[in-house]
C-alpha cells in the first residue's frame, strides 16, 4: 500500500506546490491597476448588460442526467471485464442481457429526441 500510494501523495504535493507557488508569484510580481471599465465583464466592447447568473437551455441538464445514468452502467461493466475469462459464456449472456436493457433505454431516449440539439 505504502509503495503504491505514497508516491501518488508526493506527486500531489509537488503539483500543489507548483500551482500555488506560480499563482502566488504572479500575484506578487504582476502589476495591479484597478479601473471600472477593465473590471467589467467583456461583451464585445459594448457596455455589459445584466448578469450571467441566468437560466440556460434545459437540454444541457438533461445531458448531464443521462451522463450520470450511463456512466454508472459503464462502471458496472468493469468488474465483469476483469473477471471475464472465469465467468465465460454465462457471464457474457448475463452482460448481454444487461446491455440490451441499457440499449432499450438508450433507444427510448433517442426516440424522444433528447440528443437532438436542433430546434
Sign of CA dihedral 81, 83, 86, 89: negative
Note the residues at the interface with other proteins (CB under 8 A): 2-8, 10-12, 14-16, 18-20, 22-23, 25-27, 29-33, 36, 38-44, 48, 51-54, 56, 60, 63-64, 67, 70-71, 74-75, 77-78, 81-82, 84-85, 88-89, 92, 95-96, 99, 103, 106, 110, 115-118
As a residue count, the chain comes to: 119
Torsion on CA atoms 58, 59, 60, 65, rounded to nearest 10: 90
Min dist. Cβ of residue 58 to other proteins (A): 11
With cell 506527486, the residue in question is 11
Q: What are the backbone angles phi and psi of residue 54, rounded to the nearest 5°?
A: -115, 160
Q: Write down the least CB distance from residue 9 to other proteins, Å.
A: 10
Q: Which is nearer to other proteins, 22 or 108 (CB)?
A: 22
Q: In whole angstroms, how close is the CB of 52 to other proteins at the nearest point?
A: 5
Q: How far apart are CB 28 and other proteins at their closest, in Å?
A: 10
Q: In the structure grid, which three cell numbers stand for residue 49, read together?
A: 448588460
- For other proteins, the closer CB: 47 or 56: 56
C-alpha cell at 27: 500575484
Helices (runs of H) and strands (runs of E) counted in the chain:
3, 0
Amino acid at each position: 500500500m505504502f509503495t503504491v500510494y505514497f508516491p501518488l501523495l508526493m506527486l500531489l504535493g509537488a503539483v500543489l506546490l507548483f500551482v500555488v507557488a506560480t499563482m502566488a508569484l504572479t500575484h506578487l510580481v504582476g502589476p495591479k491597476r484597478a479601473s471600472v471599465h477593465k473590471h467589467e465583464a467583456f461583451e464585445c466592447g459594448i457596455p455589459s448588460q445584466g448578469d450571467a447568473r441566468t437560466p440556460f437551455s434545459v437540454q444541457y441538464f438533461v445531458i448531464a442526467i443521462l451522463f450520470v445514468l450511463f456512466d454508472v452502467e459503464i462502471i458496472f461493466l468493469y468488474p465483469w471485464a476483469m473477471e471475464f475469462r472465469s465467468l465465460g459464456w454465462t457471464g457474457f449472456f448475463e452482460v448481454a442481457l444487461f446491455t440490451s436493457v441499457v440499449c432499450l433505454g438508450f433507444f427510448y431516449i433517442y426516440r424522444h429526441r433528447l440528443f437532438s440539439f436542433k430546434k
